[in-house]
Amino acid sequence: MSRHVVVTGASSGIGAACARAFAAHGDRLSLGARRRDRLTGLVEGACIAPLDVTSPTSIERFLAAATAAHGPIDVLVNNAGLARGVEKIAEGTGEAWREMLETNVIGLLEVTRRVLPTMMAQGRGHIVVIGSIAGHKAYPGGGVYCGSKRALQPICEAIRMETLGHGIRVTSVDPGMVETEFSVVRFRGDAERAAKVYQGTRPLQAADVAECVLFATTRPAHVNLDTIVVMPTDQASPHHVHRATT
């Protein structure tokens, strides 16, 4: 049966890959991102609309457009998120911290809280959260980003407890190094610096993560995959990455 799948932050990277994966599966898509122009043509027949998860008004308009186009939401993929800079705690100014926390944590909560009541009423639904290995292991210069991703773990656990008996599934997909625009955003457009993050190694691709998301959401209704940690073979932790010397 065709499902209505909503993907936030769908304009690039993992979000765009998830959109393509669900479309190939035959699902109906509603795609939101701040860069609406990049959603055009991504998936044929998708409802596309601007979405800034830090703005309650933007969230409400997006979800209204999505439900008007495709009906109640069956799967919500909370993908919108970012890392900004590599400030150590003692050197931070707070601006980047607020941006990450408001997007990665508050934004996710604001979208999810508006979707859950209808899912609970219809007795089914799946909340997917794109987390990170950074939520499991911290690293210098990433304390606040790591904290924002770690916060998602108890949030997912609480949702599972609070919706128990309503047929709601909750899955956190936590990837390691993925070659997307993530590092370009972190380094504020410095493409050369971003490229060095992946130099000499074999990172995951966005499609690898999307495949995990699709797998989790296509299990039988009585099966819930709580957490999927997916890493490149060349990465053992945020600190341990194998890089070819030649």
Distances from the Cα of 236 to the Cα of 138, 144, 208, 211, angstroms:
13, 21, 17, 21
Provide the 8-state DSSP code for 107. Answer: I
Structure token digits, residue 187: 């380094």
Sheet holding 125-130, edge to edge: 47-50, 28-33, 4-8, 75-78, 125-130, 168-175, 227-230
State the distance between the two ends of the chain, measured CA to CA, in whole angstroms: 50
Our answer to whether residue 139 is catalytic in this structure is no
**Catalytic pick among 22, 62, 97, 145:** 145
Q: Which amino acid is at 158?
A: A
Instruction: Give the three-class secondary structure for 172.
Output: strand
Are residues 125 and 119 in contact, defined by beta-carbon separation less than 8 angstroms? yes
Nearest alpha carbon to residue 104 among 153, 43, 160:
153
The catalytic residue positions are 145
